[in-house]
């Protein structure tokens, strides 16, 4: 990744070049420089390397700030923070060697850990400089790292992390505490997080594993894909898709126009999309779903649901063992199809605004009273109502220009559908995480 910085006299363009994660670190000691010449696909380069180490203890914190460049955090069993800075410049540039000297790295102990600062100085030079900072920290450590324009990668860390970049990708392993990840425009990928997760990007995708705490995820336009959130989840994208396998607490999901897919939802669910579809495999808590034009599909309804769509249809399967609360399904132009167990006690209140051209289709197992009502505007409303199995919570169905169907459900088929859809969500998430990691790794190659 490349970024631009203006010095006092000339423009210095810094870009990040991720090198091999397996390079060994030098022996601890004071910083030193090397100046060999190397070749790469882009032609010969001059390079410089800065090395150093600072004593520390398990459980403390690294605070790392660099003006521009990539950051790679390794973890190991150690009692110090070791760093290496790899600098490269195009050998054909007039000021190539001066560029190498324009970047410095300094570190020192602090009361709670280690502070590292990498920065460029306003030398009279111009050209392109590639910067990569690799750091070894104890595995039981906390990390705060930021760069003015590069990628950030971390291995598994048994502590909290806070990572920020002005424009690169963030790729993190497992996190043993809370995590805060921010980029102005790249992708964010993190495995399992043992605490709360806050992730924000100006336009990339967000992909995560299991979140043990709360999750607040926001992207201006990318997709959001999450394995599970134990507590409250707030997922928002300006136009991408939202996918969540398991929701253990309150879920608020919104997109400017993408699809929303939720597996199992145990708590309150509020999902809204301006134009995509919504699918929730299992609904257990109070649920409010709204789409401007897509369809709504619910495989297992076991709670109170309010669902509305402007132009799509609504399909819902109710579980036989549950006692759903009051449900309200509304569609302007689409059909509403409800699958009901034979012995479910429920009260039906179904209405079609344009009753002349549309109808209510009933399974013989559900004897309801069907009637017509002439409205003042000349339309003829169709109404079907009645108590099934002695009645119960009200199922309110409303469509303006669609049909309504009440179908006797097949429990075995419903169970198969449930398992298939949950497996599909899990497989899709795993595939997308692998593809995103591969794409980010490809972006880092020199």
What are the pLDDT tens digits along the chain (446 aa)?
333 333 333 233 323 323 332 333 333 333 333 333 344 445 687 889 999 999 999 999 999 999 999 999 999 998 999 999 999 888 887 778 888 888 899 999 999 999 999 998 865 566 678 899 999 999 999 999 999 999 999 999 999 999 999 989 999 999 999 999 999 999 999 999 999 999 999 989 999 999 999 999 999 999 999 999 999 999 999 999 999 999 999 999 999 989 999 999 999 999 999 989 999 999 988 999 999 989 999 999 999 999 999 989 999 999 987 677 899 999 999 999 999 999 999 999 999 998 888 999 999 999 899 998 887 666 789 999 999 999 999 999 999 999 999 999 988 888 888 888 888 888 888 787 777 667 656 655 54
Nearest to 400 by CA among 338, 355, 349: 355
Taking a C-beta distance cutoff of 8 angstroms, is the pair 2, 14 a contact? yes
Q: Compute the distance between CA of residue 312 and CA of residue 293 in angstroms, rounded to an integer.
A: 5
Residue with tokens 């590292």: 116
State the pairing for strand pair 369-374/380-388.
antiparallel
- The secondary structure element, H or E, covering residue 437 is helix 411-444
Q: What is the dihedral of CA 358, 360, 364, 368, to 10 degrees?
A: -140
State the pairing for strand pair 61-66/113-120.
parallel
* Residue 420 backbone dihedrals phi, psi, to 5 degrees: -65, -45
Say which residues have a Cβ less than 8 Å from residue 143's Cβ, sequence separation at least 6. 61, 62, 64, 73, 137, 154, 157, 159, 160, 161, 162, 163
Taking a C-beta distance cutoff of 8 angstroms, is the pair 121, 100 a contact? no
The answer to pTM > 0.95 is no
Q: Compute the distance between CA of residue 349 and CA of residue 347 in angstroms, rounded to an integer.
A: 7
Residue with tokens 């569609």: 331
């Amino acid at each position: 990744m490349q970024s631009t910085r203006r010095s006092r006299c000339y423009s210095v363009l810094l870009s990040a070049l991720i090198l091999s994660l397996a390079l060994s670190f030098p022996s601890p000691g004071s910083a030193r420089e090397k100046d060999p010449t190397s070749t790469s696909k882009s032609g010969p380069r001059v390079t410089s390397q800065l090395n150093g180490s600072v004593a520390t203890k398990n459980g403390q914190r690294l605070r790392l700030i660099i003006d521009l460049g990539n950051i790679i955090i390794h973890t190991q069993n150690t009692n110090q923070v070791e760093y290496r800075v790899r600098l490269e410049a195009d050998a054909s540039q007039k000021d190539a060697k001066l560029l190498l000297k324009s970047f410095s790295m300094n570190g020192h102990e602090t009361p709670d850990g280690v502070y590292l600062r990498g920065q460029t100085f306003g030398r009279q030079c111009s050209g392109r400089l590639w910067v990569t900072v690799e750091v070894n920290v104890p595995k039981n450590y906390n990390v705060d790292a930021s760069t003015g324009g590069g990628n950030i990668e971390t291995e598994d860390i048994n502590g909290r992390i806070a990572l920020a970049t002005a424009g690169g990708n963030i790729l993190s392993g497992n996190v043993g505490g809370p995590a805060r990840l921010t980029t102005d425009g790249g992708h964010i990928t993190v495995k399992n997080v043992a605490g709360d997760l806050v992730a924000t990007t100006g336009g990339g995708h967000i992909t995560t594993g299991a979140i043990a705490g709360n999750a607040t995820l926001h992207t201006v336009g990318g997709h959001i894909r999450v394995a599970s959130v134990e507590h409250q989840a707030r997922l928002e994208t300006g136009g991408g898709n939202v996918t969540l396998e398991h929701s253990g607490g309150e879920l608020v999901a919104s997109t400017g126009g993408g699809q929303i897919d939720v597996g199992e939802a145990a708590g309150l669910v509020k999902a809204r999309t301006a134009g995509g579809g919504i699918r929730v495999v299992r609904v257990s808590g109070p649920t409010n779903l709204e789409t401007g034009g897509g369809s709504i599909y619910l495989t297992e309804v076991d709670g109170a649901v309010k669902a509305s769509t402007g132009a799509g249809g609504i399909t819902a399967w109710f579980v036989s063992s549950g006692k759903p609360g009051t449900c309200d399904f509304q569609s302007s132009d689409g059909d509403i199809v409800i699958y009901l167990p034979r012995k479910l006690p429920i009260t039906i209140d179904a209405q079609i605004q344009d009753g002349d051209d549309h109808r209510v289709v009933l399974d013989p197992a559900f004897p309801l009273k069907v009637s017509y009502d002439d409205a003042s505007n000349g339309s003829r409303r169709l109404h079907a109502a009645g108590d099934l199995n002695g009645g119960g919570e009200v199922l309110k169905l409303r469509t303006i220009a669609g049909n309504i169907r009440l179908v006797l459900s097949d429990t075995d088929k419903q169970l198969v559908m449930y398992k298939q859809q949950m497996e599909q969500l899990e497989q899709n998430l795993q595939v997308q995480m692998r593809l995103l990691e591969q794409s980010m790794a490809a972006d880092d190659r020199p």
